[in-house]
Amino acid sequence: MSSTIKNDLFLRALKGETVPRPPVWMMRQAGRYLPEFMEIRKKYDFFTRCRTPELASEITVQPIRRYGMDAAILFSDILVVPQAMNINVEMKPGFGPYLPDPIRNAADLDNVVIPEVDIELGYVMDAIKMTKEKLEDEIPLIGFAGSPWTLLCYCVEGQGSKTFDKAKGLCFSDPQTAHELLQKITDTTIAYLKSKVAAGVNAVQLFDSWGGLLSPDDYRVFSWPYLQQIVTALKELAPVIVFAKGCWYALEEMTGSGASALGVDWTCSPEYARQLTGGNITLQGNFDPARLLSPPAQIKQRVTEMIQRFGKDRYIVNLGHGILPNIPLENAGAFIEAVKEYRE
C-alpha cells in the first residue's frame, strides 16, 4: 500500500527506515479541541457521530486540513466493539461511558456474542472507505481498537473509573469468567481489525489505556497474552502499534512481539524506553498532553529536545496520551510545526 501514499513518512518510520525527519500525529487529534468538531458535536450525539460514515470521515480529516499531520486516525471509539458483542454501551454527556448491564459473573457472559463484524460494525468500514476518498492517498490512515483488558474494564465496571476495582475483582475472584470474556473480546477484535485493513487502513493501533492499573505479574496474565494474539494475527496484514499506558515494565517483552511500534507515555524517559527496547523497534510518544499548555515557543523547544533524545529514526512523534480538550489551537500547531521544521 505504501507506494501509493504520497507522504509515507509514517509508514517508513514503522518499517524502521531512515527518514529526513520523524513523522507526527496526535492521539485524539480528531476531536474535542477543534472548533469545527464542536460544531458537529452540537448537532449529533456521540455514537451518532461514530455510526454515520459521513460524520466520522469528516471529523477524521478536520485536523489534517488544519495542521497537516503525517497520519490520520479514524474517528471512532473503542467501545463500539462491546456494542457489537451485544453489550449495551451508552455515552452520557458529562459522565462518559455507561454500561447498564455490566458483566459480573459467568451467567452474564451467556449474552455476549462474537459478532459478524462486517454486519455489526459495517458503518466503521464505510467510514474508512469514505475517509480514504477524502485523503486521496496523501497520508496513511490508522485504524484502532482497545485492548481486551481495557475493554473488560468497562464491561465489568459498567463505567469509567480511576481504579477499576470491580474489573480487577472479577479477574482475581473468578479468573475463568474473566479469561472467557477476554478471549471473546480478542476474537472479535482480530476479526474487526482484519476487516479494517481490508477496508483500507494502512496501520492499526491497540490502546491499552488501563494496562498500567495491573501489576507487572498480573499484566502478563490478563492483558499481554491477548494483545499478543492480536499482534500475531494482524502483523502480516498491516503494521501494528501497541500503546499500553503506564506499562513501561512490559516494553522489553513487547519488543519481540511482532509489533511494528510501541507507544510510550510521558512517565518513561526516551532514554529508558530505548534501553528497555534495545533500540530495535520504532517508538511512539511521549509528550505530556498537559505540556501543550506551555507557551508555543517552549512547546517547540521541548519537542525538538524530545526528538533529539529519542533519535529521529525508528521514532514517531506523538503525545503520551490523548490531546486535552482545552489545548489552544496555536499550541497544537506549535507541536506539529516543531516536528515539520526539524532538521538534524
Kindly report, residue by residue over 66-115, the tens digit of the pLDDT. Answer: 999 999 999 999 999 999 999 999 999 999 999 999 999 999 999 999 99
DSSP sequence for 89-147: -EEETTTEEE-SS---SHHHHTT-----HHHHTHHHHHHHHHHHHHHTTSS-EEEEEE-
> Quick check: 2 pLDDT over 70?
no
pLDDT at 138: 98
Q: How distant, in Å, are the alpha carbons of 6, 88, 153, 163 from that of 135?
A: 10, 33, 34, 39
Cβ atoms of 211 and 164 within 8 Å: the answer is no
**Bridge partners (DSSP) listed for residue 142:** 73, 203
Number of H helices, E strands in the chain: 17, 9
Query: Strands 96-98 and 90-92: what pairing?
Result: antiparallel
> Quick check: 301 pLDDT over 80?
yes
31 is annotated as contributing to ligand binding: yes
Helices (H), 174-223: 175-199, 216-222
Identify the band that residue 344 occupies on the pLDDT scale cut at 50, 70 and 90.
Answer: confident
Q: Determine the Cα–Cα distance for residues 53 and 88; give it in Å rounded to an integer.
A: 21
34-57 pLDDT, tens digit per residue, is 999 999 999 999 999 999 999 999
pLDDT at 36: 98
129-174 pLDDT, tens digit per residue, is 999 999 999 999 999 999 999 999 999 999 999 999 999 999 999 9
- Order the strands of the 203-208 sheet from edge to edge: 72-73, 141-146, 203-208, 240-244, 261-264, 282-287, 315-319
State the average pLDDT for the chain: 97
> Quick check: 3 pLDDT over 70?
no
Q: Give residue 102's identity as a one-letter amino acid code.
A: P
Domain residue ranges of the chain, discontinuous segments joined by +:
2-340
Residues 6 or more apart whose CB falls under 8 angstroms from that of 296 comprise 330, 331, 333, 334
CATH of domain 2-340: 3.20.20.210
Q: Determine the Cα–Cα distance for residues 145 and 177; give it in Å rounded to an integer.
A: 22
Residue 239 DSSP class? -
Inter-residue long-range contacts of 154-157, CB under 8 Å, 24+ positions, other chains counted? 154/79, 154/82, 154/89, 154/97, 154/99, 155/82, 155/87, 155/99, 155/102, 155/103, 155/181, 155/185, 156/102, 156/103, 156/104, 156/181, 157/99, 157/102
pLDDT at 34: 98
Q: Determine the Cα–Cα distance for residues 167 and 171; give it in Å rounded to an integer.
A: 7
Q: How distant, in Å, are the alpha carbons of 20, 254, 342 from that of 313?
A: 8, 19, 12
pLDDT at 1: 45
What are the grid coordinates assigned to 109, written together? 457472559
161 is annotated as contributing to ligand binding: no
Q: Hey, which residues are catalytic here?
A: 28, 32, 41, 77, 154
243-299 pLDDT, tens digit per residue, is 999 999 999 999 999 999 999 999 999 999 999 999 999 999 999 999 999 999 999
